[in-house]
A and B are shown apart, each in its own frame.
Chain A
Amino acid sequence: MTVRWVSAQKALSMPVPTTDSRPKAVLTITMSSFPSARVVGAVSRLVSEFCYSLVDDPDIVARFHMAAQELAENLAKYSSGPDVSISAELLGSDTSAVLRLMARNRGTPEQLRDVECRLREIQSAEDPVELYDRLIREVAPLDDVSGLGLIRIRAEGGLNVDYAIEGNELTISVHSSVAPQKGRLQCRQ
């Protein structure tokens, strides 16, 4: 497992709604083996600590911690190859910043079709809470199926969810406007 934590890096290609898309701080975790349950927990805690060092609001950090856990678990459960990564970035200016998580993995055509179907439904939902409640009703009788992780990020977390599929690689982006900790951020720059 490789962990990089840098204060500035070339902007990634997935667009986010901010006037300045240059990352102010980046945490990147890459793995070339399937993450175990313990590693998934460690990754989400590390992402949460990183977010906490950048953002004043513990509530928004808790939302991103939840999202990081769901994304990291998805990497563990639904990757067809061992090369996976998750990153957290603070983009934009001190007055208009965006916090973004990005999870990347490879999937089989069937996995990618399934996840794209779910992500499209989540993205286009006018009322994500209503969609979450409907999906809960659908899976309630089932013993082993959850399928609630991604909708939870949008409905419960109130975070934006985007995705891109290029070849067999899936990238899921979760982002929200935030108020960064100015002092701490400036110290790192």
Chain B
Amino acid sequence: MSSVAKVTLESFALDATVANGKMMVRLTGTGDMVAIEPLKKGLEQVRTEMGRLELPGVDIDIRGLYLLNSSCIKALVRFIYLVQTEGPPMSIRFLVDEKLSWQARALAPLTRMAPGIVSVVSSR
């Protein structure tokens, strides 16, 4: 059971669940100016919850995202930075749609930033 608050906006949603010892965070809709604050808040709750449940890894599924703007990327950058500097230690795996080439391209800087923590997996 995850206590990360579900976000359901007209254009953006964040839903976190825990199963088989792993957290799954699904982002859907449009990662634009409207999504920034809910995303930042949600990621902070994810970090807290990962520590409370002592989970080793989180999957962040962006396959249902239509767009990810630079401010949302920055929110992910800060999430990774805080994991690196304050913990809790965890692996962060992004799931991207192999048919939407922009998704892997947008996340490539995150794997370069923290290659030991962040990975990107393409699938349908």
Contact = CB atoms under 8 A, between A and B. Distances in A.
Interface of A: 37-38, 40-41, 44, 59, 62-63, 65-66, 69-70, 73, 76, 132-133, 136-137, 139-143, 145-146, 148-149, 152, 155-156
A156 B105 contact: yes
Interface residues of B, number: 25
Given A59-B102, A152-B73, 12 more contacts: A40-B32, A41-B32, A41-B33, A41-B67, A65-B67, A65-B102, A66-B67, A66-B102, A66-B106, A73-B71, A141-B85, A156-B109
Given A70-B69, A141-B81, A146 B74 contact: yes
- Which 6 pairs from chain A and chain B are nearest by CB? A37-B33, A140-B81, A146-B74, A149-B70, A62-B102, A148-B70
7 contacts: A41-B11, A41-B30, A69-B67, A140-B81, A146-B73, A152-B73, A156-B106
A73 B77 contact: no
Contacts of A37: 32-34
Contacts of A65: 67, 102
Nearest to A70: B70
Contacts of B30: 41
B6 interface: no
A62 B69 contact: no
Most buried by A among B32, B33, B106: B33
A30 to B, nearest CB: 20
Contact of B33 (A76, A137, A143): A76
Interface in B26-61: 30, 32-34
A139 B77 contact: yes
B79 to A, nearest CB: 10
A37 B67 CA distance: 14
A79 to B, nearest CB: 14
A34 B54 CA distance: 45
Most buried by B among A37, A65, A70: A37
Contact of A146 (B32, B71, B80): B71
Contact of B113 (A38, A70, A136): A136
A143 B67 contact: no
B42 to A, nearest CB: 15
Interface in B58-93: 67, 69-71, 73-74, 77-78, 80-81, 85
A143 B11 CA distance: 24
A167 B30 CA distance: 35
B84 to A, nearest CB: 9
A141 B80 CA distance: 10
B69 A143 contact: no
A41 B69 CA distance: 10
A44 B113 contact: no
